[in-house]
Amino acid sequence: MTKREKIIWCIFGAVLGLLFLLSSTDLIIKEKKAEIYSVSVVFDSTSDTCYTNFKKGVEKAAGDFNADVRYVTLYQEGEAKQQKELVAREIDSGAQAVVLAPAEKNSTQEELGSYAYSCPLILLGDQPSEELPVTSVMRDYAREGELLAQAVAAQADSISPVYVFTKGLSLGNNQEIYEGFTGKLRENGFEAILCSQREGADFKAALDAVLYPGSGKATVAALDPESLTELAQILNSDNHYTGHLAGVFGVGSTAYLLNQMDRGLIRGLVVHNCYNEGYLAVERAVKGIRQGMKKERILLESFYIERPDIRSRKFEKMLYPMD
């Protein structure tokens, strides 16, 4: 090899080495860093146990859209004022969007305007105003009550009253579910008796007063997953209740409630796709951060199911979404 050839090969090797160095140190082709979007999810309860499938949808959307999600629960049940303070805290702490499940519908809605313009707001429930740039991921709550009432009317005796349990009508969307439920019950000749924890009712004392030896069979229904969970736990605690039940119905699709229906304690449930609800909430939150918010309503479908439906092709994936 001549001296000239050696020089050419040395120059060639140096060029290759320089190119490798530049590319490996990100000086030529800069890798685009994915922007991370901060989203806070503020729940309407002191616990998020009834939001398991919802959170699975949130986590999937967070991965798909580069969102960093923070979950926030209340310190005290049903405290709308406290929830407002938590939302303000999250925005002040850097949340670029907030997903909100209102703790108390009316009082919370009056305050939405104060932060609807601060950052994108995704509301799990209907909008209070036609003017606010808020996205609502909602269900037809009155229709859910009607579905529940139709199931009760089809399987119960109208001579006996139906006992309706709830943590409170002013909490969440319970009022609309209750109105749909009682309206449809009256159409079918039924009387509904309300037991509300918000109004001081004790579920166990109410059940003891209704389900006693010698009494006829009673039908009970719960308007929210938390109330239905507590009812199921009470009914499971003492065998003497079982023989006096015409049926247990409610709203919710947690793993615990589905298990209780599979065991035969719960007759029927009104459910919706919680996974899609969570996914859509985060997807719209990130979209709002990127493009700005606009008014939008997304309506999720609700269904009435019984034990055979749990493992049907139509509902199994919805009720038991994969992580």
Q: Is the dihedral of CA 227, 229, 232, 237 positive or negative?
A: negative
d(CA 291, CA 94): 18
Number of structural domains found in the chain: 2
Return the exposure string of 128-144: e unless at least 16 CB atoms fall within 10 Å of the residue's CB, then b.
beeebbbbbbbbbbbbb
Same domain, 115 and 152: no
Looking at residue 131, its pLDDT comes to 75
Q: Within a domain: residue 3?
A: no
Question: What CATH number does the domain containing 52 carry?
Answer: 3.40.50.2300
Which strands sit side by side in the sheet containing 296-300, from one edge to the other? 67-72, 37-42, 97-100, 121-123, 135-139, 296-300
Looking at residue 245, its pLDDT comes to 84
Q: Within a domain: residue 18?
A: no
Q: Within a domain: residue 160?
A: yes
**Ramachandran region of residue 172, left (φ > 0), alpha (ψ -120 to 50) or beta?**
left
**What's the token pair of residue 283?**
């997807």
Q: Within a domain: residue 230?
A: yes
Give residue for tokens 């001579």: 159
**What's the token pair of residue 141?**
């709550």
Query: Is residue 45 within 8 Å of 227, Cβ to Cβ?
Result: no
- What are the two backbone dihedrals, phi and then psi, of residue 256, each rounded to the nearest 5 degrees? -65, -45
Return the exposure string of 182-198: e unless at least 16 CB atoms fall within 10 Å of the residue's CB, then b.
bebbeeeebebeebbbe
Same domain, 43 and 127: yes
Looking at residue 107, its pLDDT comes to 56
Strand partners for 304: 270
Query: Is residue 268 within 8 Å of 309, Cβ to Cβ?
Result: no
Looking at residue 155, its pLDDT comes to 85
Q: Is 121 exposed, middle or buried (0-12, 13-18, 19+ CB in 10 A)?
A: buried
Say how many C-beta atoms besides its own lie within 10 A of residue 54's C-beta: 24
Looking at residue 164, its pLDDT comes to 96
Query: pLDDT tens digits for the chain (323 residues)?
Result: 565 555 555 565 665 656 665 566 655 555 567 799 999 999 999 999 999 999 999 999 999 999 999 999 999 887 888 998 999 999 999 999 999 998 887 655 556 767 777 889 999 987 666 678 889 999 999 999 999 999 999 986 666 789 999 999 988 899 999 999 999 999 998 989 999 998 888 999 998 888 776 667 889 999 999 999 999 999 998 877 777 888 999 999 999 999 999 999 999 999 999 999 999 999 999 999 999 888 899 999 999 999 999 999 999 999 999 76
Same domain, 118 and 47: yes
Query: Is residue 121 within 8 Å of 135, Cβ to Cβ?
Result: yes
pTM of the predicted model as reported, rounded to 2 decimal places: 0.86
Looking at residue 157, its pLDDT comes to 67
Q: Within a domain: residue 73?
A: yes
Same domain, 148 and 213: yes
Same domain, 64 and 119: yes
Same domain, 128 and 148: no
Same domain, 172 and 223: yes
Same domain, 179 and 132: no
Q: 162: domain range?
A: 141-251
Strand partners for 166: 196
Helix (H, G, I), strand (E, B) or coil at 32: coil
Q: Within a domain: residue 123?
A: yes
- Residue type at 82 in one-letter notation: Q
Roughly how many angstroms between the first and final C-alpha of the chain, as a whole number?
64
Same domain, 239 and 154: yes
Strand partners for 162: 192, 219
Same domain, 234 and 199: yes
Looking at residue 212, its pLDDT comes to 72
Same domain, 112 and 60: yes
Same domain, 116 and 153: no
